[in-house]
């Protein structure tokens, strides 16, 4: 009788533990896929939007945005299929080796990623605003690679609907030559724990078009997407931006789809397309947007034109951004800015 009681108790505990694991807020990684097609993955990223000014602030909330769980349902219900979550790991990790990421921050990022995945969104996380490495690349190389070792290990069992972007907008002393070297090593670090995960890479020179021809990608890794950020004409998209010196002089700049304006935008996208075709890489316009100091008619017209160019060239995209200075969503009013949303989520 005693043996039977012990057996029943053991079976009950085993079943209880199994149910706990099964109901945990995780997303088991599917069977490894030997032939992941980055072009197909890229097609699932559109339409996309950035969850900006939140986790990339020095501390979440300091730039006016604290991520709410319901934001991801709002995005999904509006028609978005992916969310890019810019993340500033560098202010939440030790300065000295082994450069440990603060557990509370790592858990917060995981929680946010899970909320997005739970709403059937593809998710992009990156290293954003690592300001120190742009000024002193050599001094921060080991720390940068350690961050990816930790991020990769932590998220290695997440599904392939989570995508890594290695570094946002390398610039200043982080030259194209250095970036080509560092990105190779970062990819190698990530591949140790995430051999099948799609990785996004941008060019140096703030991730814009002009540095694409200086970007060198590893030929033996096909599971890569190339990202380009588009804010042209800058005097229009960043007029009155408080962080851009002299931008008040641009206030009142409009974009009305004149022949010259359309031709310039077309030329820019043709340049991206030419590079993409020559290198056989999918393109993700990971950021584009016009700041709120521009008039809404110009903003929505320009935004719609960029979206159309992405469609014509089969680029995916993520609008910058959800609910801050460029925001398509008014968090205070709890509603979308309809002109912007209609420009982004275009119906046939």
pLDDT in tens, 134-167: 999 999 999 999 999 999 999 999 999 999 999 9
Mapped onto helix, strand or coil, the DSSP state of residue 312 is helix
pLDDT in tens, 78-132: 999 999 999 999 999 999 999 999 999 999 999 999 999 999 999 999 999 999 9
> CA 88, CA 52: separation in Å to the nearest integer?
11
Cβ atoms of 56 and 92 within 8 Å: the answer is no
**How is the chain split among helix, strand and coil, in percent rounded to 5?**
45, 10, 45
Q: Tell me the average pLDDT of the chain.
A: 92
Catalytic residues: 169, 287
pLDDT digits (tens, 9 = 90+) for 25-36: 455 544 444 478
**Tens digit of each residue's pLDDT (9 = 90 or more) over 286-314:** 999 999 999 999 999 999 999 999 999 99
Cβ(162)–Cβ(125) under 8 Å? yes
Which of the four CATH numbers 3.40.50.2300, 3.90.700.10, 3.20.20.80, 3.40.190.10 does domain 36-344 have? 3.20.20.80
Extract long-range pairs of 329-338: CB within 8 Å, 24+ residues apart.
329/74, 331/65, 336/78, 337/296
User: So where are the chain's domains?
Assistant: 36-344
The pTM assigned to this predicted structure is: 0.91
Dist CA 325 CA 241 (whole Å): 9
Instruction: Tell me the sheet residues that pair with 287.
Output: 229
DSSP 134-192: HH-HHHHHHHHHHHHHHHHHHHTTS-TTEEEE--S---TTS-HHHHHHHHHHHHHHHHH
Ramachandran angles phi, psi of 222, nearest 5°:
-90, -15
> pLDDT for 203-245, tens place per residue?
999 999 999 999 999 999 999 999 999 999 999 999 999 999 9
- Each residue's pLDDT tens digit, 168-195: 999 999 999 999 999 999 999 999 999 9
């Amino acid at each position: 009788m005693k043996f039977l009681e012990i057996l029943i108790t053991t079976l009950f505990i085993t079943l209880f533990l199994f149910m706990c694991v099964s109901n945990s807020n995780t997303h088991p990684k599917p069977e490894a896929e030997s032939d992941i097609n980055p072009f197909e993955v890229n097609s699932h990223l559109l339409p996309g939007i950035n969850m900006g000014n939140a986790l990339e602030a020095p501390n979440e909330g300091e730039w006016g945005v604290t991520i709410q769980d319901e934001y991801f349902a709002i995005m999904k219900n509006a028609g978005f299929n992916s969310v890019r979550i810019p993340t500033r790991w560098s202010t939440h990790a030790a300065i000295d080796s082994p450069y440990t990421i603060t557990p509370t921050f790592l858990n917060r990022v995981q929680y946010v990623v899970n909320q997005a995945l739970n709403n059937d969104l593809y998710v992009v996380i990156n290293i954003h605003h690592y300001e120190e490495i742009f000024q002193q690349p050599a001094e921060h190389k080991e720390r940068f690679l350690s961050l990816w070792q930790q991020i990769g290990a932590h998220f290695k069992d997440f599904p392939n609907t989570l995508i890594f972007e290695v570094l946002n907008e390398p610039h200043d002393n982080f030259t194209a030559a250095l970036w080509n070297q560092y990105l190779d090593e970062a990819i190698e670090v990530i591949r140790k724990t995430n051999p099948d995960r799609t990785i996004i890479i941008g060019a140096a020179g703030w991730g814009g078009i002009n540095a694409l021809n200086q970007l060198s990608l590893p030929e033996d890794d096909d599971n890569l997407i190339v990202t380009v950020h588009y804010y042209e004409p800058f005097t229009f998209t960043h007029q009155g931006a408080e962080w851009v010196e002299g931008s008040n002089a641009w206030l009142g700049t409009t974009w009305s789809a004149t022949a010259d304006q359309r031709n310039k935008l077309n030329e820019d996208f043709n340049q991206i397309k030419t590079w993409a075709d020559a290198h056989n890489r999918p393109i993700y316009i990971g950021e584009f947007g016009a700041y709120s100091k521009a008039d809404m008619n110009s903003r929505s017209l320009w935004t719609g034109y960029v979206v159309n160019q992405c469609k014509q060239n089969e680029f995916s995209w993520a609008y910058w951004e959800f609910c801050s200075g460029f925001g398509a969503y008014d968090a205070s009013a709890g509603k979308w800015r309809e002109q912007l949303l209609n420009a982004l989520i275009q119906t046939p």
